[in-house]
Amino acid sequence: SAAEKGGFEFFMDKEIAEQGDAVRSTLMGHFDGSGIVLDEQRLSEDDLRTIDKVFVVACGTAYHSGLIAKYAIEHWCRIPVEVEVASEFRYRDPVLDRQTLVVAVSQSGETADTLEAVRHARRQGARVLAVCNTNGAQIPRESDAVLYTHAGPEIGVASTKAFLAQLAANYLVGLALAQARGTKYRDEIAREYEALTAMVEAVEQTLTLMDPVRKLAQEIAQSKAVLFLGRHVGFPVALEGALKLKELAYMHAEGFAAGELKHGPIALIEDGLPVVIVTPSPKSDPLIHSKLLSNIREIQARGARTIVISEEGDDTVAPFADFLVELPRVPKLFQPLVATIPLQVLAAEIARARGYDIDKPRNLAKSVTVE
């Protein structure tokens, strides 16, 4: 009903608007002064300390949250992290033992592919930590440790607020591991947690900046395809932007690592093709920024319509942006929490302009309980 949607046309609109709360509630209470605390912990400190390899397994949007987690966990914990779609994981005989931590990320906690990956991992002796939005669901029940995301119920089939909550939870997992392994001092963990908490405001602020993106969506709604480019944590954000557009607007959309442009995707560039580029901060990441800047120039010179997601005050990109989205300045690893928002809004508005039901895209299910 209209009341349930809180005045919004679709649940998805409401869920996009709730993302600040989703991040806030997910972070809340997980730092107790001495360190990061999980919700359910059936692993000893020793178990956690001896972890020497992490796999993140998940499907769809949750998988993209895992791709982002890899950057944070490897940076903070100095252990290798592999991220894999759950449906591939157990069929290729992955190398697992008691020192392996498998992080299973799932909004519903009932996705069959992810559940089977969890079962496979446990049979091989690996430890499993679930990141889940649904209390008492099957995946957390079968895991050794649980961190719940508190996005609240998500009705829209295409995941939005659960994704931002997953990002927040995954960062907490990274900090918890760094703490157990001693790769970060307590006060460094406290500082990261504080910086993470400050992201709630950055998310809220980003949400207020979306009107121009809605206008842009009207203009490009009839395009045949849209490409998304990013580097470092901006790469998974590009993948998520493309997935949202496929799911909601039934448009051909691809996300690429910007560095791969010259190895293939550049051949796709033609006059008027919208290309969304997720650009890092010129201050915190000058090297990657300069590389992206040359990518933007290259594709604009070939006729692409460049839609640039950038940090406020970055005037180096402005001359090459046909459309500029300026987002608040945030720490490098946390940029996906803000950079994903314009891509969600873009996909939702394009789908709306095309007359589709953005809560219930064709052929898709909210929770896929068969393999």
Task: Give the CA angle between residues 226, 227, 232 to the nearest 5°.
Answer: 145
**26, 100, 106, 170: which one contacts ligand G6P (CB under 6 A)?**
106
| Shortest Å, Cβ 108 to ligand G6P | 3
In sequence order, the 6+-apart residues with CB closer than 8 A to the CB of 268 are 225, 227, 254
Tell me if 87 contacts ligand G6P by CB under 6 A: no
Confirm or reject binding of residue 157 to ligand G6P (CB under 6 A).
Answer: yes
Helices 336-353 and 186-207, packing angle to 10 deg: 20
Least spacing, CB of residue 324 vs ligand G6P, in Å:
29
Q: Which of 19, 25, 100, 114 touches ligand G6P by CB under 6 A?
A: 114
Residue from the set 23, 59, 220, 345 that interacts with ligand G6P by CB under 6 A: 59
Interface with ligand G6P by CB under 6 A: which range of 89-97, 108-116, 274-282, 346-354?
A: 108-116
Q: Is 244 a catalytic residue?
A: no
Q: Is 54 left (phi over 0), alpha (psi -120 to 50) or beta?
A: beta
Of the pair 107, 306, the CB lying nearest ligand G6P is at: 107
Query: Under the criterion CB under 6 A, does residue 340 sit at the interface with ligand G6P?
Result: no
- CA atoms 30, 16, 242, 159: torsion sign: positive
The residue from 25, 61, 100, 206 that contacts ligand G6P (CB under 6 A) is 61
Burial 2-23 (b: 16+ CB within 10 A, else e): eeebeeeebbbbbbbbbbbbbb
Q: Which of 159, 160, 279, 340 binds ligand G6P (CB under 6 A)?
A: 159
Pick between residue 159 and residue 179 the one whose CB is nearest to ligand G6P. Answer: 159
User: Got the DSSP string for 135-179?
Assistant: TT-HHHHTSSEEEE-------SSS-SHHHHHHHHHHHHHHHHHHH
- Which residues bind to ligand G6P, rule: CB under 6 A? 59-62, 106-108, 111, 114, 157-159, 364, 366-368
